[in-house]
């Protein structure tokens, strides 16, 4: 292929003396100082050749023949409507404008165009050019070429160079296939010798929109998954049997290809095998939630009630734990219903996003405070007499309360995202609706497993010590843990209503609890609560006031910031976090604040980008959605050697962060 291009260049250069090249000179528009264009033309045999030169200032871009989710491709409206033009397009780049994935060019670009043999001595028209930075400008450049006037310069050489950048029809891939499975386009490409930095650019099939591809390379095989919607962002049209036009690039080479879209799965991790593996992850993730600090307060209530009622029958114990399991499963199915409604209405999805609501947090503070009062034996929840009698006659012994405990545990569990849970939830919220319900049910069953174990073997409850004075101390300890969880929820209100409000609310709750205990003559418990929470509050204030020893310079997270860093051959560390995300705080303390990790993140060529999802932010929700993620923490590393980014496990490790940062270098 290279020999062919060289031969073509030599031939055109030899013919240069016979080509009369016309030139408009550089054209400007007063309303767009960021772009200038020039058109040159020469006749070669029966073919009229045209070069469209575009110069863009730094930070500005224009578009490929298929712009993507936004933008307009360059277009010429000819003065003579009979002119037939054939455009040639160099391989584009993928970038983002205002959160939309687009395909186009930056810097200087030359587009070759061929025209049918023209009649007349003038070639005139208007070029419409769309250029974008933070804003987009649509500019008209009227032009007129006097084909009888020759100008200086070597048109034939420039035309040959421009044609040399046009993707070839073969030479890069040995085998290329495409399929459409469940609203997803799957592509597989084979290349002997393997892949270096592959990229795919698509001409969208009629009536469809294609997202940025998720590319995976294993040896000689490139696999890509592409989310497909219609032009309104709704359900994807059926692409089976249609022709897909695309450009494949790798390490400076580009190939223009067309392939018929089939119906057989091409990506190894698609289909039922992946679904059932994610179901297993959901079961495991739900089980691990029982160990998270968010859920421990509810387990404390369950343990306390179990100790208090050791004299109950095996049947009563079984019914209570089954009721709690039913509450957990019901809550997960309720979450599935909410997520289904959000998806059908086109709203953003996210795991734990209820903690972004100040109203939800305030309600949770009140509920937790009342549960704390119950553990300190200050408050007793009683059902209406008629309902209580009905439950008692059915052997329930207050089954509704146990059901509520399970439901409450689920609400508290969502900000605690374990690695298995994050993968399962991300798959669930992007999967077809039946799979979403199946996976949320699996999450509920997984979290219910310890409760179901006691229900199956009620004798386990009898392994606890006999009732005695130790129960009073245990209830005090569990109540203190519950109260600490209450004040943790209060701190989550700081981004909404400020630190002063949180301090005042904390003081009121503390005084009310102590006064309540003093009134009930529980002086020892009141002293323990006051001293413990005063110390915890002092430590909390000191940590918020004290400056960090080595501050990392975080910048706001945007797609544009990632692209700008990559253009400068820098590495990027992305961190999406929230105040209510427990795992995020574990990652920060156990990994990101460690000296060796901080040293790696402070390197001169590392750009740190952080997205704060404590409060609702559509931009961050869209950022996660584009990466098929809906839960946090989320961390991703980009670099010259990782242009598509590498997503890290939700539970970070020092080794993974440091090694991936090293791999991202050139």
Per-10-residue mean pLDDT for the chain, 666 residues long? 46 45 89 92 83 93 89 91 91 75 91 84 91 87 86 82 92 90 88 88 90 85 88 80 93 90 71 63 73 58 56 73 84 78 58 68 78 68 43 48 72 55 57 75 82 74 56 68 78 82 84 80 70 66 50 88 89 90 82 91 93 85 77 88 84 89 86
Q: Is residue 210 a part of any domain in this protein?
A: yes
- How many structural domains is the chain composed of? 4
**Same domain, yes or no, for 603 and 539?**
no
Domain with residue 56: its CATH number is 2.60.40.1250
Q: Is the pTM of this model over 0.75?
A: no
Domain boundary among the residues 545, 568, 595 is at 545
Final residue of a domain: which of 214, 242, 262?
A: 262
Q: Residue 142's beta-bridge partner residues?
A: 126
User: Which of 84-87's residues contact partners 24+ apart within 8 Å by CB, and which partners?
Assistant: 84/115, 84/116, 85/50, 85/113, 85/114, 85/115, 86/113, 86/114, 86/115, 87/111, 87/112, 87/113
How many Cα atoms are found within 13 Å in the side-chain-facing hemisphere of 480?
19
pLDDT value of position 199: 92
Task: Return the pLDDT at 385.
Answer: 44
What is the H or E stretch that residue 518 is in?
helix 499-519
Query: Residues 541, 558: one domain?
Result: no
Instruction: Supply φ then ψ for residue 620, to 5 degrees.
Output: -70, -40
- pLDDT given for residue 613 in this prediction: 86
Q: Is residue 195 part of a domain?
A: yes
247: enclosing H helix or E strand = strand 243-250
Nearest CA-CA partner of 159 in 86, 2, 51: 51
Q: Which helix (H) or strand (E) holds 442?
A: helix 433-456
- Is 489 among the domain residues? yes
Same domain, 111 and 150: yes
Domain shared by 406 and 525, yes or no: yes
The pair of three-digit structure tokens given for residue 217, joined into one six-digit string: 């390379």
Angle CA 259–86–175, to nearest 5: 20
Do 590 and 531 belong to one domain? no
Answer whether residue 306 is part of any domain. Answer: yes
Collapse the DSSP code of 571 into the 3-class scheme (helix H, G, I; strand E, B; otherwise coil) and give the result. strand
The DSSP secondary-structure symbol of 153 reads S
Is 169 contained in some domain?
no
In a domain, 170, yes or no: no
What are the tokens at 119? 């009649």
Pairing assessment for the beta strands 122-132 and 136-146 based on DSSP bridges: antiparallel
Same domain, 429 and 558: no
State the pLDDT at residue 97. Answer: 54
Residue-range definition of the domain harbouring residue 179:
175-262
Instruction: Identify the domain boundary among 262, 284, 299.
Output: 262
Task: Supply the CATH number for residue 654's domain.
Answer: 3.40.30.10
In a shared domain, residues 348 and 470 = yes
Return the CATH number at 237. Answer: 2.60.40.1150
Of 551, 545, 572, 581, the residue nearest 636 (C-alpha): 572
Tell whether 239 and 276 lie within a shared domain: no
Give the CA angle between residues 474, 292, 581 to the nearest 5°.
Answer: 125
Omega before residue 633 within 30° of 0, cis: yes
The contacts of residue 396 (CB under 8 Å, 6+ apart) are 319, 323
């Amino acid at each position: 292929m290279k020999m062919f291009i060289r031969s073509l260049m030599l031939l055109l250069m030899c013919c240069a003396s016979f080509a009369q090249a016309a030139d408009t000179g550089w054209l400007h528009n007063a309303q767009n100082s960021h772009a200038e264009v020039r058109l040159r033309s020469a006749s070669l045999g029966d073919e009229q050749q045209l070069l469209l030169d575009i110069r863009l200032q730094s930070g500005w871009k224009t578009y490929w023949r298929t712009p993507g989710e936004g933008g307009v491709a360059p277009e010429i409206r000819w003065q003579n409507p009979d002119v037939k033009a054939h455009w040639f397009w160099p391989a584009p780049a993928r970038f983002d404008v205002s959160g939309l994935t687009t395909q186009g060019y930056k810097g200087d670009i030359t587009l070759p165009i061929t025209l049918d043999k023209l009649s007349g001595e003038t070639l005139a028209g208007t070029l419409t050019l769309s250029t974008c930075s933070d804003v987009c400008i649509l500019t008209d450049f009227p032009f007129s070429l006097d084909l009888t006037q020759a100008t200086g310069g070597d048109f034939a050489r420039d035309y040959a160079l421009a044609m040399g950048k046009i993707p070839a029809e073969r030479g890069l891939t040995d085998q290329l296939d495409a399929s459409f499975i469940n609203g997803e386009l799957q592509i597989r490409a084979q290349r002997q010798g393997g892949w270096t930095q592959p990229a795919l650019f698509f001409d969208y099939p009629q009536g469809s929109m294609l997202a940025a591809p998720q590319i995976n390379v294993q040896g000689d095989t490139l696999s890509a998954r592409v989310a497909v919607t219609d032009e309104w962002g709704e359900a994807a049209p059926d692409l089976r049997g249609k022709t897909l036009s695309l450009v494949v690039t790798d390490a400076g080479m580009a190939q223009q290809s067309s392939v018929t879209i089939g119906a057989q799965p091409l990506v190894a991790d698609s289909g039922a095998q992946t679904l059932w593996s994610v179901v297993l992850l959901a079961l495991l993730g739900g089980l691990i939630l029982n160990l998270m600090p968010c859920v421990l307060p509810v387990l404390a209530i369950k343990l306390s009630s179990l100790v208090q009622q050791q004299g109950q029958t095996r049947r009563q114990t079984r019914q209570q734990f089954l009721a709690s399991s039913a509450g957990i499963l019901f809550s997960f199915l309720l979450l599935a219903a909410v997520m289904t409604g959000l998806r059908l209405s086109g709203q953003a999805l996210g795991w734990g996003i209820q903690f972004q609501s100040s109203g939800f947090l305030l309600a949770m503070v009140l509920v937790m405070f009342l549960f704390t009062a119950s553990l300190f034996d200050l408050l007793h929840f009683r059902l209406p007499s008629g309902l209580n009698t009905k439950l008692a006659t059915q052997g329930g012994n207050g089954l509704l309360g146990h059901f509520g405990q399970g439901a409450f545990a689920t609400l508290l569990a969502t900000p605690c995202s374990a690695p298995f849970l994050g993968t399962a939830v991300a798959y669930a919220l992007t999967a077809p609706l039946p799979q979403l319900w199946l996976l949320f049910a699996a999450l509920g069953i997984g979290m219910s497993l310890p409760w179901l174990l006691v229900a199956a073997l009620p004798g386990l409850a009898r392994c606890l010590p006999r009732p005695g004075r130790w129960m009073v101390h245990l209830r005090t300890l569990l109540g203190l843990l519950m109260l600490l969880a209450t004040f943790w929820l209060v701190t989550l209100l700081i981004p909404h209503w400020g630190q002063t409000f949180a301090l005042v609310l904390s003081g009121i709750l503390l005084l009310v609890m102590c006064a309540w205990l003093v009134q009930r003559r529980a002086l020892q418990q009141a002293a323990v609560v006051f001293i413990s929470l005063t110390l915890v509050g002092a430590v909390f204030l000191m940590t918020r006031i004290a400056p960090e020893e080595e501050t990392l310079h975080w910048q706001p997270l945007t797609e544009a910031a990632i692209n700008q860093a990559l253009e400068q051959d820098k590495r990027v560390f992305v961190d999406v976090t929230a105040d209510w995300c427990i795992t995020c705080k574990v990652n920060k303390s156990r990994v990101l604040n460690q000296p060796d990790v901080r040293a790696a993140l402070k390197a001169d060529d590392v750009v740190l980008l952080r997205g704060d999802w404590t409060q609702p932010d559509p931009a961050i929700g869209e950022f996660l959605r584009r990466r098929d993620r809906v839960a946090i923490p989320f961390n991703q590393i980009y670099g010259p050697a990782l242009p598509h980014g590498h997503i890290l496990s939700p539970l970070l490790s020092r080794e993974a962060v440091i090694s991936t940062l090293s791999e991202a270098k050139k």
